[in-house]
């Protein structure tokens, strides 16, 4: 199944080019009181929501997908975990180009040495919200990634069991300001994590390790690879992460980007695709109050 969130927080079931509004299925979510749970309630209750959504769908209003403002399919992830340099050819292109590594030693090591990093939850946006670039005097780059949404609490999970903890998959964009600062800082401005266009439930993607992924900017392909080229696959990343911390329902893991990262500037139009998930269009603008960079 494909769940999208759209408009002002509505829940949709995606059927081809049509979306059925099943927002009423969220009525099955338990009422929450302070302190809030450490999970995303929609994802934590996905089987219940799915059951209600299936029942509602035949009578639910259908509307064309085109023109809907798509939001992140997960509204409240407890954390956004990210894998650095997780494709060999991308690791090499970073080492080869000072404009990418800026002599920052943390960018020259392997994922096994530096581990995972976190992006601010406030950086999360849906494709319909677009990317608002900051630091326009610096290079801002796109990174297309397979995004994994965790479905149940996971601690000390072995790679053999890891995929049982996945609720589903989305396309992730890990937008990056180049420079000397820590990754978590350069990659965490508002809208610098785009998740969409919807959540594809894990049953539709039994093997996340063989998916084509690509990104085009203004119609020109910049990155094109396959998740089989990841250094640590989805199961290994879950094993690695849960050795250090608990993953909760709704936590998102963006799994790293292949070679071909390149600059984006305000006015650019991104088209990102992952096999078995789909494609999403994302517009790039300057963050409000900042001068717009001229196109080189």
Site residues (CB under 5 A) for Mn ion?
143, 174, 257
CB of 143: closest distance to Mn ion in angstroms? 4
* In the complex, least distance from residue 272 CB atom to Mn ion, rounded to whole angstroms: 13
CA distance 12 to 23: 7
Query: Which lies closer to Mn ion via its Cβ, residue 145 or residue 268?
Result: 145
Within 115-233, where are the H helices? Answer: 183-186
Burial 101-128 (b: 16+ CB within 10 A, else e): bbebeebeeebeeeebbebbeebbbbbb
- Least separation in angstroms between CB 255 and Mn ion: 8
In the complex with Mn ion, which residue's Cβ is closer, 82 or 277?
82
Query: Which residues, in sequence order, are bridge partners of residue 118?
Result: 81
234 in Cβ contact with 255 (< 8 Å)? yes
Residue nearest to Mn ion (CB): 174
- For the bound state, the minimum distance from the C-beta of residue 237 to Mn ion, rounded and expressed in Å, comes to 12
Nearer to Mn ion, 170 or 257 (CB): 257
- 214 vs 257, beta carbon nearer Mn ion: 257
User: Which segments of 30-130 are extended strands (E)?
Assistant: 62-64, 70-71, 80-82, 117-119, 124-125
How many other C-beta atoms lie within 10 A of the C-beta of residue 268?
Answer: 18
What residues are paired with 201 via a beta bridge? 168
Q: What is the DSSP letter of 155?
A: S
Question: Which of 5/119 has CB closer to Mn ion?
Answer: 119
Residue 117 CB, shortest distance to Mn ion, in Å, is 9
């Amino acid at each position: 199944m494909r769940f999208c969130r759209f408009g002002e927080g509505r829940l949709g079931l995606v059927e081809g080019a049509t979306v059925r509004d099943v927002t009423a299925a969220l009525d099955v979510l338990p009422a929450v009181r302070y302190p809030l749970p450490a999970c995303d309630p929609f994802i934590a209750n996905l089987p219940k929501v799915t059951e209600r959504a299936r029942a509602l769908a035949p009578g639910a209003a259908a509307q064309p997908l085109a023109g809907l403002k798509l939001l992140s399919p997960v509204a409240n992830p407890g954390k956004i975990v990210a894998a650095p340099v997780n494709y060999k050819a991308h690791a090499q292109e970073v080492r080869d180009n000072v404009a990418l590594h800026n002599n920052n030693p943390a960018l020259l090591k392997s994922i096994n040495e530096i581990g995972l990093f976190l992006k601010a939850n406030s950086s999360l946006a849906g494709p319909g919200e677009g990317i608002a670039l900051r630091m326009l005097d610096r290079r801002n780059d796109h990174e297309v990634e397979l995004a994994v949404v965790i479905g149940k609490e996971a601690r000390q999970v072995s790679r053999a069991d890891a995929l049982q903890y996945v609720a589903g998959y989305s396309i992730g964009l890990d937008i990056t300001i180049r420079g000397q600062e820590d990754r978590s800082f350069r990659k965490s401005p508002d809208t610098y994590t785009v998740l969409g266009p919807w959540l594809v439930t894990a049953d539709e993607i039994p093997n996340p390790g063989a998916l084509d992924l690509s990104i085009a900017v203004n119609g020109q392909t910049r990155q094109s690879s396959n998740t089989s080229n990841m250094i640590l696959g989805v199961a290994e990343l879950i094993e690695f992460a849960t050795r250090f911390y608990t993953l909760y329902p709704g936590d998102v893991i963006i799994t790293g980007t292949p070679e071909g990262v390149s600059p984006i500037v305000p006015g650019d139009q991104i088209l990102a695709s992952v096999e078995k998930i789909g494609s999403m269009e994302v517009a790039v603008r300057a963050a409000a109050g900042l001068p717009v960079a001229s196109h080189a």
